[in-house]
Structure 1
Amino acid sequence: MKKFSLSLLVYTVLLIPYHAAFAQLQMLRDQGTGNPVMANPYPEVKGTPYWMEFGMGSIIFSERDTASNLVIAFNAFNHTLVYQMDRDLMAYSPGKVNGFILGRGPNAQVFRTGYMVPGIGPNRFVEVLVDGDYTLVNHKFKKIVDDPGATYGSQRSKVFQNAEDLIVYKDGEAFVWRARKKNLERFFGVDGYKKLKDLSNSYGLDLKEKSDVRRLIMLLNNGN
């Protein structure tokens, strides 16, 4: 770990095992006052609000200040970054840090803040998939839905469910990716849509598949 010298708002809790991850959020407290800053209003919800289990990663405080080799996790329900420091857990909301990196090596996921998410605003963490004239991000989040595995006739229970939206940015405009012709023509124009179709046909790309959309945006940026 490099440093934690910045004066940022943090919240701490005593460390407890990961299998009680959601219980950790009930105990988050303001480091200065000791008062609870967040409670768990959904103790009956199955699953976890974390996108993936705690693992090694980095926190991007600024372009020149990154803390590496930390144990972190992304709470995708309330969009906070949670990390372990000694025997405490600390939480940062979007705007308090520039972003974070989940994992290491070529499969690492880079999350940033400041991207305008349509209908929500810029105060979110999004995974940056492509950066260029066309920028592509993945807005990952959790939502609470009815448990599809609940026994018929029993009281309907709730579960956390993963959700994702691909968003394309160009010249300050944002487009939530929807692979229908009229949606794509509205953002890319008639000629732009034709180019998308030509590229997808030439490279065998599926406009509904995230990995193929990523490759398509990269091809656009490369002038293909």
Structure 2
Amino acid sequence: MRKFSLSLLVLLLIGGLGNQSVAQLQLLRDQVSGNPVMANPNPDVNGTPYWSGFEEGKIIFSEKDTVENLMIAFNAFNHTLVYQVERDLVAYTPGKISGFILQSKSNPQLFRSGYNIPNIGPNRFVEILVDGKYTLVSHKFKRITDDPGAAYGAQRAKAFVNAEDLYVYKEGQPFLWRAKKKNLIEFFGNEGYQKINQFADTYNLDLKAKSDIRRLIHFLNQEK
């Protein structure tokens, strides 16, 4: 695995040199005003478009090309991976990188690009929860809605709100997780549905709870 220092990345970016991965970096700027991204494009919206704050992580360009020890954050509103270069913010869209890892030293969360989310987009970042014959992913995103914390009687304010959908993929086909018999049979078939019920009964799984769905997919992947 090739590793690059942050200082080398900065020099490559400023000098216009480097490999294809570095050449794909783009400084975040508003498409209309040209203002740097630090100027909040949503000043009237409470909260943040980032899923969590900036933290040390990794950017994955390919299996053999990973950049470590970067301060990165996932902008879940416009679905970009953002990282800090000195005082600038630099962004990657899903089509430009293979993925990234948040909280790489404490609780690693692997995100990959290239996933088609029905009715949303053909190339999105998703968190990989289980990988295998059945791949379970979390599609995290932000919405702008009425601020639930606004004082009663005050002018209606807007806020960023977290949202998350779980999808199961098999051979590239997505299934939006819905714990209903009809939906499960359509995707897993009758035999798969019977196995799901068997595992749920044996291990007392709640098919609406994220942690239990994760365990279930692990069980299904272990079946021959």
Q: Which category describes the TM-score, using the shorter chain as reference length?
A: 0.7 to 0.9
Matched letter for residue 10 of structure 1:
L
1:108 maps onto 2:108 in alignment: yes
Deviation of 1:186 after TM superposition, in Å, equals 1.6
Structure 1 stretches of 5 or more lacking a match?
13-27
Alpha-carbon shift at residue 182 of structure 1 (Å)? 1.6
Instruction: Give how far 1:42 is off.
Output: 2.5
Q: Deviations over 1:37-92 (max 9, x none)?
A: 87755211000000011101000011111000111000000001111123322111
Query: Aligned partners of 1:83 and 1:172: how far apart in 2?
Result: 29
2:148 maps to what in 1? 148
Answering whether residue 25 of structure 2 is matched by residue 10 of structure 1, we say yes
Alpha-carbon distance change, 37 to 164 in structure 1, aligned in 2, over 3 angstroms:
same
AA matched with 1:60: I
Q: Which residue of 1 aligns with 2:162?
A: 162
Matches of 1:124 and 1:113 in 2, distance apart? 5
Deviation at 1:9, TM superposition (A): 3.1
* Counterpart for residue 69 of structure 1: 69
Report the counterpart of residue 214 of structure 1 in structure 2.
Answer: 214
Tell whether the 8 Å contact from 1:185 to 1:192 is kept in structure 2 after alignment: yes
CA distance in structure 2 between the partners assigned to 1:36 and 1:6 by the alignment: 27
Q: Indicate if the aligned counterparts of 1:146 and 1:156 stay in contact, CA closer than 8 A.
A: yes
**What is the match of residue 17 of structure 1?**
none
Letter in 2 for 1:199: F
Q: Distance in 2 between matches of 1:73 and 1:109?
A: 12
Structure-2 separation of matches of 1:92 and 1:44: 25
1:81 and 1:172 mapped to 2: Cα distance? 23
> 1:190 offset after TM fit, Å?
2.1
Q: 1:42/1:128 Cα in 2 relative to 1: closer, same or farther (>3 Å)? A: same
Matched residue SS, 1:178: coil
The answer for the alignment partner of 1:99 in structure 2 is: 99
- The alignment-based identity, stated in percent, is 61
- Name the count of aligned residue pairs: 206
Q: Give the whole-Å Cα distance in 2 for the aligned partners of 1:48 and 1:116.
A: 25
What CA distance in whole angstroms lies between the structure 2 residues aligned with 1:63 and 1:91?
Answer: 20
Cα distance in 1 for partners of 2:74, 2:41 equals 19
Q: CA 1:204–1:79 in structure 2 vs 1: closer, same or farther (change >3 Å)?
A: same
Shift of 1:213: 0.6
| Residue equivalent to 1:58 | 58
Amino acid at match of 1:9: Q
CA–CA separation in structure 2 for the residues paired with 1:150 and 1:29: 30
TM-score of the aligned structures, taking structure 1 as reference length: 0.84
User: TM-score w.r.t. structure 2 length?
Assistant: 0.84
